[in-house]
Structure 1
Amino acid sequence: MADHRNRVLLLESLILLICCIAVNGNIPPNCSDFQTSSWRNVLQRLGLNVQFMLLTRRNPDCAQPVNNNRDIENSNFNTSLPTKLIMHGYRIMGSKPSWAETLAQELIRAMDVNVVVVDWIIGSTALYHNAVQNSALLGLKVSTLIKNLISHGSREKSFHLIGISLGAHVAGFVGRMFNGKLGQITGLDPAGPKFSKASVDERLDPSDAVFVEAIHSDSDQFGISRPVGHIDFYLNDGQDQPGCARPFSSSVYKYLICDHTRAIYLYISSIKNHCPLVAYPCQTYEHFRSGGCIDCNNHSLQSCPRIGLLERAGLSADVQPKEVKVYLMTSSDSPFCVKHFLVEIFFQQLGPYDQSVELTFLSSNQSNISNLQLTIPNKQSSERTMRKVIPYARFGNVDAITIERLSSWRRKRYAVHIEKLRVSELPLNDRERPPSCIDNIVIHKKIFFEQFANCF
């Protein structure tokens, strides 16, 4: 908990070193754009200054204001189309979110929808606890906007609120004002500080919309760890994300928020790219990694949910989940999706000592696609089978393997005997993907190499 507070304090202290500069880009005249904030705004105690900006396929590059009824009537807002509201969270530097335009554009390309971007930069900048206090007022203003849009002909179920960090809890507050009748809420790494121990009335909750989903990517720092939706996606256990542990390759600020913002960029990628981001229901990430949750039919959801714009994450309307944890691994770069493979090792003969080995799985062109380090038990162990789930970040199959012995030089090396090594692509209930095997592996030397074949 101390590390959690220290990281938040470090972010806030960066404000003292950064003078915020407005970056408007090449915005056409008469088009709305984000405001920017600075310490001068904080000292002047400006109000929330929220504004709502509409983008549609008729005006994809020039946002129209929809702050009141007159704006709505003079805009391209179409009451017959679904409406997606994007709400950013805490903005330490008072600048425009770099991902906001990309997310809005990808939504418009994927669907014929109204996209309303909520700008509350002024009220979300400076100290975090002030932004938390302002979030309640923001919720009231967003609720007023939705009521105005409904009065023009929109339906409650046509609204999809996409809240980032603190914005996810604002979405929950808005949803409660409509008694949970809004269509959907997507929380992208909902904020943890000030909300981890909050009641259901003070944070995002499954009752806030017809369907609530959350994507967790930084649950040990800036994000919340507990489930807050009908379905909660945990990326790589919801904590440390691949490619983010590089403090010297980017600015300190970007390094600190890398895990937290991964949920945003992965969600954008799920809209833009067609490779599936399939997650597996499980009680814990460790149980998932050990091969305990690999069948998409053998649980209450009846299928494996997917991240993206699928209705109800691709689940059947007959299924009524609540706070179901689902896990998936990802790669370090866009499009982030990976295949999941179950590796099963059946031992024939064990030596007197534990032995460590590293398995390197290879593609058809011999490129390294995944690594797995294992400790093979000694002959006194009752364990004769090991199961692990590995990620595969390329499109293709696992075709070969090398095995390197890592045993200590102080102990005599004994041959490693493996009766069968089987690799199966998940989910296991897919009969169109037969497993591959290697039989009767005996490793006397340091490195073993062999290609997989069909299992018999």
Structure 2
Amino acid sequence: MSMWQYLTTLLLITVQTWEAFPAQRCQEFTDLDLSHAIIGTSLKVRLLLYTRENSTCGMLMSHTNLTAHPQFNLSRPTTFVIHGYRPTGSPPVWLKRITELLLARKDTNVIVVDWNHGAANLNYIKAVENTRKAADNITAFIKKMQDEGASLSSIHMVGLSLGAHMSGFVGASFNGTIGRITGLDPAGPLFTGHPPEERLDPTDAKFVDALHTDIDSLGFRETLGHIDFYANGGTDQPGCPKTIFSGGAYLKCDHQRSVFLFLDSLNGTCASRAYPCSSYKDFLDGKCLSCERFGAAGCPVFGYDVTKWKDVLLKLKQTKVYFTTNTESPFCMTNYRVDVMIWNKEVRWGYVTVKLHGDGTEAVATIDHKSSKFKTYTETKLFAHFDKDIQSVKKVSLKFSTGNVFQPKRKLRILRVRLTNLERKERPLCRYDVLLEENKEVTFRPIACEESNF
């Protein structure tokens, strides 16, 4: 068969398929505007199917006749993506990207739950009320899938904000037999303080993971899953506006960052390792660097691949972990423990900036969440988060600052500094006898630490 014959045959098959199944024509997410939100919208749930066969062409699903969609293969796993509150009615900017990345990761059915009619409403209370009704709609659809032979354990629900709780309602309807629910900054307003049956909780699926990025405003503060990740302490995300004069970005940036962090984890360019801790302060102080409870895999990595730790996390019942991020993608940082011993006669207080130099690249970590105490012949343990991962460190730069412009310049006489990469099992890097004058950067070549070194 010639190429032209092949293309002609393919075109005929495509036309016949579209004529047989009119609903198979490409559908877009409902695009509304502020006027719809002001008037208020009545709930309408649309399910848009994407597969590797139609990765850029959403197919509008029938809620009752699954056979009308030849692309919908129930032997594949299915991932539902559920958006949250839409006060302006516009489509989420991240929908196309999350669909692409999910399909790139796995041969799955991706179903985007479009409930913009219902979420687009200036009356947030009404949108919250609609989450129950929309969840009932999705539950009925999944029940139909189950009747047709789909496995509930192969279903993954990814919900942002109100969509996270909606996923929980669906999961509860199946007594927690759905495979996984991922809650991206689950909504806080009208859910905080409510019992588990009125929000997302660990019993809603076989495995529930949650990310918190805006706990002081739009997000939920307390734990909701088998593992709860708190990015940058769960609030004030790096790179987000700090004042209301920035407009709408000030209100939504922290909340929406949860999606972009998840997208980064799907992309797989780098990993954000998270550490179990009782508070963000203790985490920043480097008091929570032990990963022994997780076995050989070490501390869990945030995002799509956290299921690698599923078995141990289910045994632990509930785990609260913290990690830090960059201001933009790639968001992941590289963690080091920095141990400093000085031989100044007097105690020194201050902040340290560390730079790692590779082949033409540089990574920076500024340890300034508080003033650190340096005492003679006593090891000060610092937790450093570098903005890049330098595979082969050639040089190290250090800078010391007291932050006090009214006092004489201080010196920090370092007897030994030791840098330990917490991401890879490598021999720590050391340097001995370094004099730091305040606010002056000193660069040196580190050497591999020896066992005998004090």
What TM-score range do you get, normalising by the shorter chain? 0.7 to 0.9
Work out whether 1:229 is the aligned partner of 2:241.
no
Q: What are the superposed Cα offsets for residues 207-257 of structure 1, whole Å, 9 maximum, x if unpaired?
A: 000000001111111111111000011111111111113669x96213321
Q: Which residue of 2 aligns with 1:111?
A: 106
Query: How do residues 100-249 of structure 1 correspond to structure 2 at under 5 angstroms?
Result: 100-126=95-121, 127-245=123-241
Q: What are the superposed Cα offsets for residues 8-38 of structure 1, whole Å, 9 maximum, x if unpaired?
A: xxxxxxxxxxxxxxxxxxxx99222222334
Q: CA deviation at 1:370?
A: 1.7
- RMSD over equivalenced CA pairs, Å: 2.7
Q: CA deviation at 1:316?
A: 3.3
Q: In the aligned structure 2, how far is the partner of 1:433 from the partner of 1:377?
A: 27
1:339 to 329, 334, 342: 334
Q: In the aligned structure 2, how far is the partner of 1:177 from the partner of 1:303?
A: 34
Q: In the aligned structure 2, how far is the partner of 1:388 from the partner of 1:255?
A: 32
Q: In the aligned structure 1, how far is the partner of 2:252 from the partner of 2:433?
A: 47
2:445 to 424, 432, 451: 451
1:281 to 276, 280, 283: 276
What SS does the corresponding residue of 1:341 show, helix, strand or coil? Answer: strand
Contact 2:362 2:390 survives alignment (8 Å): no
Contact 2:294 2:312 survives alignment (8 Å): no
Contact 1:354 1:378 survives alignment (8 Å): yes
Q: CA deviation at 1:313?
A: 4.6
Q: In the aligned structure 1, how far is the partner of 2:372 from the partner of 2:81?
A: 49
Contact 1:295 1:426 survives alignment (8 Å): no
Work out whether 1:396 is the aligned partner of 2:384.
no
Contact 2:400 2:436 survives alignment (8 Å): no
Q: In the aligned structure 1, how far is the partner of 2:408 from the partner of 2:246?
A: 48
1:36 to 15, 27, 31: 31
Q: Which residue of 1 aligns with 2:419?
A: 423
Q: In the aligned structure 2, how far is the partner of 1:442 from the partner of 1:220?
A: 42
- The verdict on how the C-alpha distance between 1:70 and 1:150 changes in structure 2, with shifts beyond 3 A counting, is same
Q: In the aligned structure 1, how far is the partner of 2:76 from the partner of 2:251?
A: 38
What SS does the corresponding residue of 1:170 show, helix, strand or coil? Answer: helix
2:73 to 63, 74, 78: 78
Q: CA deviation at 1:411?
A: 4.1
Q: In the aligned structure 1, how far is the partner of 2:449 from the partner of 2:226?
A: 39
Contact 2:338 2:417 survives alignment (8 Å): yes
Q: CA deviation at 1:142?
A: 0.7
Between 1:162-171 and 1:235-244, the stretch displaced more is 235-244
Q: In the aligned structure 1, how far is the partner of 2:439 from the partner of 2:305?
A: 48
Q: In the aligned structure 2, how far is the partner of 1:378 from the partner of 1:278?
A: 28
- The verdict on how the C-alpha distance between 1:299 and 1:326 changes in structure 2, with shifts beyond 3 A counting, is same
Work out whether 1:437 is the aligned partner of 2:430.
yes
Q: What are the superposed Cα offsets for residues 390-423 of structure 1, whole Å, 9 maximum, x if unpaired?
A: 2112231553123244364654555422221111
The residue type equivalent to 2:54 in the other structure is: N
Q: In the aligned structure 1, how far is the partner of 2:147 from the partner of 2:236?
A: 44
Query: How do residues 255-334 of structure 1 correspond to structure 2 at under 5 angstroms?
Result: 255-298=250-293, 303-310=298-305, 312-316=307-311, 319-334=314-329
- The verdict on how the C-alpha distance between 1:283 and 1:318 changes in structure 2, with shifts beyond 3 A counting, is closer
Contact 1:236 1:328 survives alignment (8 Å): yes
Between 1:266-275 and 1:403-412, the stretch displaced more is 403-412
Q: Which runs of 5+ in 1 are unaligned?
A: 1-27
Structure 1 length as normaliser, TM-score?
0.85
Contact 2:62 2:68 survives alignment (8 Å): no
The residue type equivalent to 2:194 in the other structure is: A
What SS does the corresponding residue of 2:65 show, helix, strand or coil? Answer: helix
Q: In the aligned structure 1, how far is the partner of 2:209 from the partner of 2:68?
A: 32
Q: CA deviation at 1:304?
A: 1.6
Q: In the aligned structure 2, how far is the partner of 1:252 from the partner of 1:187?
A: 26
Deviation beyond 6 Å, 4+ runs, structure 1: none
The residue type equivalent to 1:189 in the other structure is: D
What SS does the corresponding residue of 1:316 show, helix, strand or coil? Answer: helix
Q: CA deviation at 1:180?
A: 0.3
What SS does the corresponding residue of 1:234 show, helix, strand or coil? Answer: strand
Q: Which residue of 2 aligns with 1:87?
A: 82
What SS does the corresponding residue of 2:79 show, helix, strand or coil? Answer: strand
Q: In the aligned structure 2, how far is the partner of 1:400 from the partner of 1:231?
A: 36
Contact 1:216 1:232 survives alignment (8 Å): yes
Contact 1:377 1:383 survives alignment (8 Å): no
Q: In the aligned structure 2, how far is the partner of 1:346 from the partner of 1:285?
A: 25
Q: CA deviation at 1:307?
A: 2.5
- The verdict on how the C-alpha distance between 1:186 and 1:407 changes in structure 2, with shifts beyond 3 A counting, is closer
Contact 1:218 1:238 survives alignment (8 Å): yes
Q: Which residue of 2 aligns with 1:406?
A: 402
- The verdict on how the C-alpha distance between 1:112 and 1:202 changes in structure 2, with shifts beyond 3 A counting, is same
- The verdict on how the C-alpha distance between 1:45 and 1:282 changes in structure 2, with shifts beyond 3 A counting, is closer
Q: In the aligned structure 1, how far is the partner of 2:399 from the partner of 2:37?
A: 59
Bigger share in helix: 2
- The verdict on how the C-alpha distance between 1:245 and 1:64 changes in structure 2, with shifts beyond 3 A counting, is same
Q: In the aligned structure 2, how far is the partner of 1:282 from the partner of 1:387?
A: 16
- The verdict on how the C-alpha distance between 1:350 and 1:128 changes in structure 2, with shifts beyond 3 A counting, is farther
